[in-house]
Chains A and B, each alone.
Chain A
Amino acid sequence: MNGEPKGKLALYWAASCGGCEIAVLAINERILDVDALFDIVFWPVAVDAKVHDVEKMADGSIDVCLFNGGIRTSEQEYMARLLRKKSKVLVAFGSCAHEGCIPGLANSTSRRRIFETVYHETPSTENTDHVEPQPSTAVPEGTLHLPVFYDTLRTLDQTVKVDYYLPGCPPEADRIWDAITAIVENNLPPPGSVIGAETTVCQECPRKRNEKKVKKFYRTWEIIPDEETCLLEQGLLCCGIATRAGCGARCPQVGSPCIGCYGPNEGIHDHGARMMAALASTIDSNDPEEIDRIIRDGIPDPVGSFYRFGLAASHLRRKKEAMIET
């Protein structure tokens, strides 16, 4: 690659925790190779380029933009549209951009309820003036602007067209490197693809599997699983059966059930629905009351268990306004 002009790389952080930013650094010294291959033209967490610098760039002048985070505010939407316009290849980087992730779980409530909780109800909050963030506020010095906080969190591809997806919360360093290599070597799958494996975590999991028959589900703190048998067969709600491989089955290998951060497998639209359909089939009872009890006692938070990462991208997308308690 010596002698060729350097590519242009941008990275951006929208509605997410920031873990994806750190994950980029988890490729360790290979970050130097990235620097050798690309000019990093925009990366607010690490590089001193401003939004107006991006605005001035020619459309399509950025070769690759790794965009992490979902779209919760008007500012994030603006940045998504801007970076889409300026980039040749837009990658939804990590679970939040890919399928909404934890911020997307807030789609089970509303902006109103979120504001109530955050600005009024938490025990440590004292807000006697009932102040809440407003898109514009008049002060003697002029008008202040804040981004609009949307009622629903959207994934990146529900906002702009996305070329590739890199799943994971966060994506594993090796998978990030695989993606960078694929980009550099121009060895990418067809646009719209997830860059990663096309099978599920079980493929990478060394635990011994039998036919699945579950009589009782346990929370992780309730049992110490044996080290050899499939966790799901031991009653731990392991989502590995329905979750795309690529992580190396790190969690189940250390006795912690897969929580599904790599999202659904290739060709599957609704991760939670898949997981539920499979799980329903493994419950070892034909008695409706017993089945009810097994589910009620063992899975107290179905949305959090099955849609922890994928609610915003699922067929459900959000809870109906009318069903949200106010």
Chain B
Amino acid sequence: MITSDETLRIGVYVCHCGSNIAGTVDVEALTKFAEGLPHVALARHYKYMCSDPGQELVKRDIVEFGLNRIVVAACSPNLHEATFRRAAEDAGLNRFLVQIANIREQVAWVTEDRQEALEKAESHLGAAVRRVARHVPLQRQFVRIVPRAMVVGGGIAGIQAALTLAEAGREVILVEREPSIGGHMAMFDKTFPTLDCAACILTPKMTAVKLHPNIKLLTYSTVESVEGSVGNFRIKVKRKPRYIDESLCVGCMQCIDGCAFTRAKFPNAFDQGLGLRKPVWIPFPQAVPPVPVVDPEVCLQIARGKCKQGCVEACGERNAFRFDQQERIEEYEVGAVVVATGFHAFDPSVISYYGYGKYPNVYTSLEVERLLNAGGPTSGKLVLRDGSTPKRVGIIHCVGSRDANYHAYCSRVCCMYALKLAHLVREKTEAEVYNCYIDIRAAGKGFEEFYNRVQNEGVQFVRGKVADITPAAGQGTSAEGGLVMKVDDTLLGSIREINVDMVILAVALEPQADANQVRRTFGISCSAEGFFLEKHPKLAPVNTANDGVLVAGACQGAKDIPDTVAQADAAAAKALALIDAGQIELEPNTAWIEEDICSGCKTCINLCPYQAIRADEERKIAVVDPALCKGCGTCVAACPSGAARQHLFGDEQISEELEGLMNYV
């Protein structure tokens, strides 16, 4: 199979890339140099090798001159390696007998001196010629793709992605860690700038998820581990016990009435702790699935083993309670994953001068959303902690955003939701509202119009950053809770002290607390601020560094609902394009084990980032699964016996390439 040295006939093609290469590298001299290299049968230069005539040149020469190795000195192999491999194959040559010398990105674009550029190009070309002489023909291999997708996170991003995939006829597994899907959007009262009721537009989608035959919904569940790679992920999902059998529960909620606790006394996290719940509870009335969960820490039956079990009695012959339910792990095979794990609302208690957590009438925006929401703890009445209605309300923008001490970035949605809250507060209470802002960012469809509308409604806009919030000694409208916002009004040019009885902090959107762990589980990267990193900010905005793992929604960066939904559909489309392809070509540069040499020392087994190596205990050797191997070379470098080898990266090929590099510098 290996062509002996005597019959090697290497064709070398130097690309001008217009003036990109030829402007810096003397392509004629480089071609002359190539002619003098061992086994080079012919060398040419051409204006655009990647063009059709350029490729034709290669094809014709292969046939006419019997070339059996091709070197193209051009741009990065990331761009046109596939092009020339295909051209070679069209002419009957094995596609892996082609090598690219990157003289554009690595030479022309980074070298000023022409002589130096020529020398550098010669060493790259020399290395490629030496290397390609050691290439052997390889077979292309394909692996079947599991035609199923998983969506992780059941907020609006995950819901949208799951529905789009399901409607396209694909099986979807939707994993949500909370007892219900809906995410942050389910907490909101209205949405900006149209003031649609959030529940009215979200709950039909939630119900659609529940009813869709192609969607398997796993709530109260988290992803434990991800093995395999694009097309063939094996994902373990941890199902937390609800203590209620989902398949038997009809969602009548009578168990909640029947609970031994006659009154709700535990804070409801969905209501930001403003509302109370019982040990058996449901986050909100429209929850999907409409199945309560039992909190094992406070349920008398589970925590103490002793309760009259009014819930079980209320459940009656449906008999859905399972106090012995255990956490369990389920494994799913999927071809693609959409990660849509959302955001975390910034905790403003770290900003001491805003007094959140210290002054009871300083609220976060999310708390106020719950107070305004008809399904919330006050049934939609905006009241202070003492039950009174606020008369003067301050809204502070950019809390935790655009602040070098917390997050330098703009959270993009706060301006608009702060305007929305201002509108809703005035609508419900007729209170005086002061919005203290740095800049108003209203760059969206209908946003500027909404800003004008809220201005016209009489909301006071103060351009300045609030420096301090202090209790107003007896000055406030409510003697107990009165507060003073000290703000540098930059338009007025003076420091103002504004008396209010309620402060709303428009908090930043930040990555989920466990984003780093999630990132590791799925093998994707994150940006400096911790949001998941897309493969390319412009051209691959929903792909990630891990093929087959896509991102959507606020886990990738702060964004509003329309952008989230658009991105979710994009991720679903990408997932669909992938799993509908049916099969995927494997990397040619996979690792393999020389079985006679392997002594089964197991050094490599746990090094593989793709779990592609297993130990064959019978034969006492390691075995690489080529369908899982991504050709990273870790095992090859670590193998102490030299049994782990890699296609296209044999010792011989690498050392020839190095020798080539060294020889011609």
Q: Interface of A with B (CB < 8 Å)?
A: 198-203, 209-213, 230, 240-242, 245, 264-268, 274-275, 277-278, 280-282
Contacts and interface: CB of A to CB of B under 8 A. Distances in A.
Interface string B647-658: 000010000000
Given A200-B599, A209-B600, A240-B601, A274 B642 contact: yes
Contacts of B620: 203
A275 B642 CA distance: 11
A178 to B, nearest CB: 17
Contact of B642 (A203, A210, A212, A265): A265
A241 B606 contact: no
Interface string B115-137: 00000000000000000000000
B638 to A, nearest CB: 4
27 contacts: A198-B596, A199-B596, A199-B597, A199-B599, A200-B599, A200-B601, A200-B640, A200-B641, A203-B600, A209-B600, A209-B602, A210-B602, A211-B606, A241-B603, A241-B640, A241-B641, A242-B640, A242-B641, A265-B597, A265-B641, A265-B642, A267-B651, A268-B641, A274-B640, A277-B638, A278-B639, A282-B603
A266 to B, nearest CB: 6
B638 A278 contact: yes
B600 A278 contact: no
A199 B598 contact: yes
Contact-size category for B: 20 to 34
B605 interface: yes
A261 B571 CA distance: 57
Given A267-B642, A275-B640, 17 more contacts: A198-B596, A199-B596, A200-B641, A203-B599, A203-B600, A209-B600, A211-B605, A230-B601, A240-B601, A241-B599, A241-B603, A268-B641, A274-B639, A274-B640, A278-B638, A281-B603, A281-B607
A198 B599 CA distance: 9
Nearest to B607: A281
A210 B615 CA distance: 9
A281 B597 CA distance: 20
B369 to A, nearest CB: 40
Nearest to B636: A277
B637 interface: yes
Nearest to A205: B599
B642 A202 contact: no
Contacts of B602: 209-212
Contacts of A267: 597, 642, 651
Contacts of A278: 603, 638-640
Contacts of A201: 599
A265 B642 CA distance: 7
Nearest to A245: B599
Interface pairs A-B: 4 shortest CB-CB: A242-B640, A278-B640, A203-B599, A202-B599
B63 to A, nearest CB: 37
B641 A199 contact: yes
Among the interface residues A199, A209, A275, which one has the most CB atoms of the partner chain B within 10 A? A199
Contacts of B598: 199
A264 B620 CA distance: 20
B17 to A, nearest CB: 37
Given A242-B641, A277-B637, A266 B597 contact: yes
B597 A212 contact: no
Contacts of B604: 281
Contacts of A199: 596-599, 641, 643
Interface in B621-646: 634, 637-643
Contacts of A245: 599
Nearest to B620: A203
Interface string B203-241: 000000000000000000000000000000000000000
- Interface centre among B597, B598, B637, B651, by most chain A C-beta atoms within 10 angstroms, is B597
Contacts of B596: 198-199
A278 B603 CA distance: 7
A231 to B, nearest CB: 11
A212 B603 CA distance: 6
A274 B638 CA distance: 7
B640 A212 contact: no
A230 B603 CA distance: 11
Q: Among the interface residues B605, B606, B641, B642, which one has the most CB atoms of the partner chain A within 10 A?
A: B641
Interface string B587-622: 000000000111111111111000000000000100
Contacts of B634: 281
B599 to A, nearest CB: 4
A245 to B, nearest CB: 7
B637 to A, nearest CB: 5
Contacts of A203: 599-600, 620
B356 to A, nearest CB: 35
Contacts of A210: 602
A268 to B, nearest CB: 4
B249 to A, nearest CB: 43
A277 to B, nearest CB: 5
Contacts of B639: 274, 278
B642 A281 contact: no
A277 B643 CA distance: 14
Contacts of B642: 264-268, 274
Given A199-B598, A203-B620, A281 B638 contact: yes
Contacts of B638: 277-278, 280-281
B606 A212 contact: yes
Interface string B446-469: 000000000000000000000000
A240 B601 CA distance: 9
